[in-house]
Structure 1
Amino acid sequence: MFLSKYFKTQECSNHLGTVSINFRPVNESYGGMNVFVKQISRWLVDRGYRVVYELNPDVDIVLVAHPWLTHTDPYGFDDVQAFKRANPKVQVLLRINECDKRKKTMHMDQWLAQWESIADHTYFISQWLCDHHALNWFDKKRSHSCIYNGADPRIFHPVGGSTYDGFGPLRIVTHHWSDNPMKGYPDYQKLDSQIAAGDIKDVEFLVIGRWPADINWQVTKTHGSAHGKKLADLLRGCHVYLTGSHWEPCGMHHVEGIQCGLPVIYHRDGGGIVELARRYGIEYSDDLGSAIEQMRDSYETYRKTALNDPPRSGDEMCLRTIDIIQKMRVI
């Protein structure tokens, strides 16, 4: 299926190559990987490539963005392995965005190692994730790179955002598509209780997305899953982004918050999150309340950093990925 079904673009008569992606993007909230596929698909077409979500004889590059099968995946490992054997000139680019440590699973690293065995180049979505896998199974002598996540700057930007002036409540926001407790929900629930008890004052907390079914929020404001402009508007309506996620390979949620101009409070054990977040905010471990008060006092400093030295956006993420694809095309 061609990209024209998802983006209204004029196809070029002469393509630089055909890239097949093993995940068909959906126009709804579906995590950071879906955000990546939508962005890279658009950029590939803009740079002269044809994008498909299937394996056919015209394919030059297989971009593996989703190393496990779901209802949105058109093909899996066995299909790619057989396709590559039948078409030796086909190159496989593997994007690694997962690890067992994140959700306390026991299968993901094994799947990734299997995929890597047929990859011509592997790229990790954070240096932390690369180092983590190198300690377990990945050989850094293999062709690889690290490209940090970025959000679409047409949508996630600070224009029209709220600013905390020291008066009124400090509005804190988080958002997650996953309801896994490792996303930080024990900390979010504790913050909700502290605000309700009056232990933390002049703070409003907004949770967007999904959360464990056993959580009954007391004073926290909630909003269902959102994406695109709706999500960005909700983020820009707040002052500070909070992520309590543990051992995140990289994440897209905090990136979207920072690109909207929000300073960030992040957990010390955030994994790949820490690489970016430490430039734009304050870490915490056990005492989230103290981090919030520190952010209240230092808000202007971190806000200016987010505005004057913003993180690399999704545009650069995509261009760096296309640079790799271009090199693979001329090998």
Structure 2
Amino acid sequence: MKITILYKFRNTAWGGANQFLHALRNWFVSKGCYEEDPFKADVGIFISYPFNNEDLFGTVHKLKKNTNTLIVNRMNGPIFLYRDQDVAVDKMNFIFNRHVADGTIFQSKWSMEQCHKLGMIPNGYETIIGNAPDPGFFYRPDPSKNKVVGKTKIVAASWSDNYKKGFDTYQYLDDNLDFARFEMTFIGRSPIIFKNINQLPILQSDKLAETFRDHDMFVFASKVETCSNILMEALHCGLPAVARNNSSQPELLGTGGLLFNDTRDVLDAINKVSNNLNYYRSSIKVPTIDEIGANYYNFCNRIYSEYREGKYTRKCWSNMRYYGLTARAHFWEKGTRIKNKLRKINENGNQPG
């Protein structure tokens, strides 16, 4: 069985999905089961929703019409919990999943439950498989370097500057963290100019991992996450974490740190983890890319084998449903651009001048 990933890869830091899918593709390649040409693959893994790459809907439509390729949908979201105006995206994801996807992979139990709660009809083949980073970059440091010298070094990171990524908490820490005891660094984009927190730009995976290993603990304050890759990358680098108690964070963190609810208890959680770094470091339990890759392969192979044996009838994608979905996507994209332009005009109009 040959697998392809229907995704426009970027060879630069480009958000969590891009980084994880690079690692997953590398695993498939190492096992000899990856096919670059989707029209020669037995299974195509589709990433919903393909923001800025809606042409991939056309690729899937051609695969459904002209080949026997099965489509497995890696679900994101629900998206509207990240962006309140994007209920339309979730509806398109649910339509695609119902009429096109032969199987569905959720990244967390939380994501599966929320999607079903919002009206997504369960697929005949569904599973939950999390994420894992590339072990060539993200690995634990030499144990001899675990000893804290001087201040406890905290790190946080976000590729997106969406305020829901936890910037209320990072602002609070910038104002209230005990900087006589702690040193804190933020990596990535931020809508806030910090006074006390050191800030670094977005880093490539090798530099990001090195920076993580140079710190003692990770703070992750995002309010909504399907399955955060940045949190998994930090844990794989041996960083105990303090993470916000919502969405998928409890599933990912496990015993590798402590959860907090808001600014009222985040400092207490940081202090407790800082006082017990070795305990929480030794309690980190995260899946490897070998485990994740094998789970992807086995799930795809289960559908493929039952299709080959005549136990499963592959879904088709009629022209009417294809054009209906792509029309929705087109109008959503146009509407979003207009909303963004109006928002910028409004923001500029409200600036003093």
TM-score norm. by structure 1 comes to 0.84
Counterpart among 81, 88, 110 of residue 101 in structure 1 = 81
| Aligned residue number for residue 251 of structure 1 | 228
| Aligned residue number for residue 295 of structure 2 | 320
| Deviation of the 1:239 alpha carbon | 0.4
- Amino acid paired to 2:93: L
| Aligned residue number for residue 235 of structure 1 | 212
| Deviation of the 1:134 alpha carbon | 1.1
| Deviation of the 1:181 alpha carbon | 0.9
| Aligned residue number for residue 304 of structure 1 | 282
> In 2, distance between residues paired with 1:297 and 1:169?
12
> In 2, distance between residues paired with 1:284 and 1:67?
30
| Structure 1: gaps (5+ residues) | 1-15
Change (3 A) 1:78 1:152: same
- Amino acid paired to 1:291: A
Does 1:293 pair with 2:271? yes
Does 1:62 pair with 2:44? yes
Contact kept in structure 2, 1:22 and 1:66, CA below 8 Å? no
| Aligned residue number for residue 173 of structure 1 | 155
| Aligned residue number for residue 184 of structure 1 | 166
> In 2, distance between residues paired with 1:55 and 1:259?
32
Contact kept in structure 1, 2:125 and 2:303, CA below 8 Å? no
| Deviation of the 1:200 alpha carbon | 5.7
> In 1, distance between residues paired with 2:22 and 2:35?
11
- Please list the CA deviations of residues 64-92 of structure 1 after superposition, one character each: whole Å capped at 9, or x if unmatched: 0242242xx483224413431333x2210
**Secondary structure of the equivalent of 1:65?**
strand
| Aligned residue number for residue 147 of structure 1 | 129
| Aligned residue number for residue 146 of structure 2 | 163
- Amino acid paired to 1:217: F
> In 1, distance between residues paired with 2:28 and 2:278?
38
- Please list the CA deviations of residues 170-191 of structure 1 after superposition, one character each: whole Å capped at 9, or x if unmatched: 1111111111111101111110
| Deviation of the 1:94 alpha carbon | 0.4
- Please list the CA deviations of residues 5-55 of structure 1 after superposition, one character each: whole Å capped at 9, or x if unmatched: xxxxxxxxxxx43x3322122121111111122122122222222422x65
Q: Which has the larger radius of gyration?
A: 2
- Amino acid paired to 2:261: S
Change (3 A) 1:320 1:101: same
> In 2, distance between residues paired with 1:50 and 1:152?
17
Does 1:75 pair with 2:52? no
Contact kept in structure 2, 1:20 and 1:59, CA below 8 Å? yes
Contact kept in structure 2, 1:152 and 1:315, CA below 8 Å? no
> In 1, distance between residues paired with 2:278 and 2:158?
26
Contact kept in structure 1, 2:20 and 2:229, CA below 8 Å? no
Higher helix share: 2
**Secondary structure of the equivalent of 1:27?**
coil
Does 1:221 pair with 2:198? yes
| Aligned residue number for residue 39 of structure 1 | 23
| Aligned residue number for residue 29 of structure 1 | 13
**Secondary structure of the equivalent of 2:186?**
strand
| Deviation of the 1:164 alpha carbon | 4.5
- Amino acid paired to 1:43: W
> In 2, distance between residues paired with 1:203 and 1:317?
35
TM-score norm. by structure 2 comes to 0.79
Does 1:205 pair with 2:184? yes
- Please list the CA deviations of residues 94-114 of structure 1 after superposition, one character each: whole Å capped at 9, or x if unmatched: 001222213333233112102
**Secondary structure of the equivalent of 2:276?**
helix
- Please list the CA deviations of residues 283-315 of structure 1 after superposition, one character each: whole Å capped at 9, or x if unmatched: 111321111111122222101212xxx311222
Change (3 A) 1:74 1:62: farther
Counterpart among 224, 240, 248 of residue 272 in structure 1 = 248
**Secondary structure of the equivalent of 1:95?**
strand
| Deviation of the 1:249 alpha carbon | 0.5
Does 1:329 pair with 2:304? yes
Contact kept in structure 2, 1:23 and 1:74, CA below 8 Å? no
> In 1, distance between residues paired with 2:161 and 2:93?
23
Total equivalences in the alignment: 300
